[in-house]
A and B are shown apart, each in its own frame.
Chain A
Amino acid sequence: MNDRQLKQRLKQHKQEIPDNGFSSKVMRHLPDKQPVPALVWIFAIIGTLLFIAISGVQRTTDQVVMMMEKAPWWTLPVASTAIVCIFLVGFCFHEHKTSTSLILR
């Protein structure tokens, strides 16, 4: 038996194993909570400390007040509506993509 025949033989032997509830069984046996990795906490703490160090609260408040003073009255409702719409569209797109990929599987 040459190399090509051997490859062919192994290819014939290769079979797709049907799920038959295996994935659900695995998901049921997973531990309840995946602990948040230490790296996430480290970056969160670094970010918070930097925000405090550069007087983030004061700067943010000043910027918002300045914007409110300069901008016309309708800016705030229009901007907040636009932000909500962007989030909604993104969420719907994500959900649609997720459900499609689950259905296709």
Chain B
Amino acid sequence: MSNADDLKWVMQVTLFGNKNAFDPLVRKYQSPIRRFFLNLTMGDTSLSDDLSQETFIKAYLQLSSFQGLSGFSTWLFRIAYNVFYDSIRAQKVREEVSLDEVDRHYHTENDYSAENADLYNALAKLRHEERTAILLCYMEGLSHTQASKVMECPLGTLKSYVSAGKTKLANLLQ
């Protein structure tokens, strides 16, 4: 399904109120969005599914604000990024802990984390901006420009996050 197909489904939902037209979009993007959250939460499948669901519901409600200037996937990752960091901020407010402590809190044991424990351990040691930048660019295949739109930061800043993250990750995984 191409970007043109994405736009077609988006228009069906926004202009004709066809709720079912959102289904192909969920099916197409459920894997990248859930994988993104799975990596951000260090393999917590339950939490990543909850956050993914919240992302798709928010996307559905805000669909009329999608202008098609960037791709639908970039727009969706932007919502996912906000959902994740909103949840972290809420957690932080509730528990008055640092982001690093939240990361450790999310570091749970399950099928995914057992398989990829060393990578999750390494990712957990990165700053959250570095981790997000690395995951968007290297795991989800977004360009630096797209990732900078998702993270709402200048391109140069994004590149510095990627560079710092890569260096740290390479050392940690040796």
Is there contact, CB below 8 Å, between B64 and A23? no
Q: How many residues of A contact B (CB 8 A)?
A: 35
Is there contact, CB below 8 Å, between B35 and A1? no
Which 9 A-B pairs give the minimum distances between C-beta atoms? A37-B64, A1-B170, A23-B26, A17-B31, A10-B138, A17-B34, A26-B56, A23-B27, A34-B17
* Residue B42 lies at the interface, judged by CB distance under 8 Å to chain A: no
Is there contact, CB below 8 Å, between B57 and A27? no
| With known contacts A1-B174, A3-B166, A101-B24, A29–B139 Cβ distance under 8 A | no
Chain B contacts with A in 10-65, Cβ cutoff 8 A: 13-15, 17, 19-20, 22-24, 26-28, 30-31, 34-35, 38, 49, 52-53, 56-57, 60-61, 63-64
Is there contact, CB below 8 Å, between B35 and A22? no
* Residue A33 lies at the interface, judged by CB distance under 8 Å to chain B: yes
* Residue A36 lies at the interface, judged by CB distance under 8 Å to chain B: yes
Residues of B within 8 A of A (CB): 1, 5, 13-15, 17, 19-20, 22-24, 26-28, 30-31, 34-35, 38, 49, 52-53, 56-57, 60-61, 63-64, 116, 119, 134, 138-139, 166, 169-171, 173-174
Chain A nearest CB from B131 CB (Å) reads 12
Assembled-state Cα–Cα distance A95/B174 (Å): 53
Listed residue (A9, A13, A29, A36) with the most chain B CB atoms within 10 angstroms of its CB? A13
Which secondary structure characterizes the binding site on chain B? helix
* Residue A63 lies at the interface, judged by CB distance under 8 Å to chain B: no
| With known contacts A10-B139, A102-B24, A30–B60 Cβ distance under 8 A | yes
Is there contact, CB below 8 Å, between B22 and A17? no
- List 4 additional contacts besides A10-B134, A13-B139, A31-B60; criterion CB under 8 Å: A17-B34, A23-B23, A30-B19, A31-B61
Is there contact, CB below 8 Å, between A6 and B173? yes
With a cutoff of 8 Å between Cβ atoms, the chain B residues found around residue A29 in the complex are: 53, 57
With a cutoff of 8 Å between Cβ atoms, the chain A residues found around residue B53 in the complex are: 22, 25-26, 29
Residue on B nearest A104 in the bound complex, by CB = B1
Residues of A within 8 A of B (CB): 1-3, 5-7, 9-11, 13-19, 22-23, 25-27, 29-37, 39-40, 101-102, 105
Assembled-state Cα–Cα distance A39/B19 (Å): 19
Is there contact, CB below 8 Å, between B173 and A33? no
Residue on B nearest A25 in the bound complex, by CB = B53
Listed residue (A2, A3, A23) with the most chain B CB atoms within 10 angstroms of its CB? A23
Is there contact, CB below 8 Å, between B1 and A37? no
With a cutoff of 8 Å between Cβ atoms, the chain B residues found around residue A3 in the complex are: 166, 170
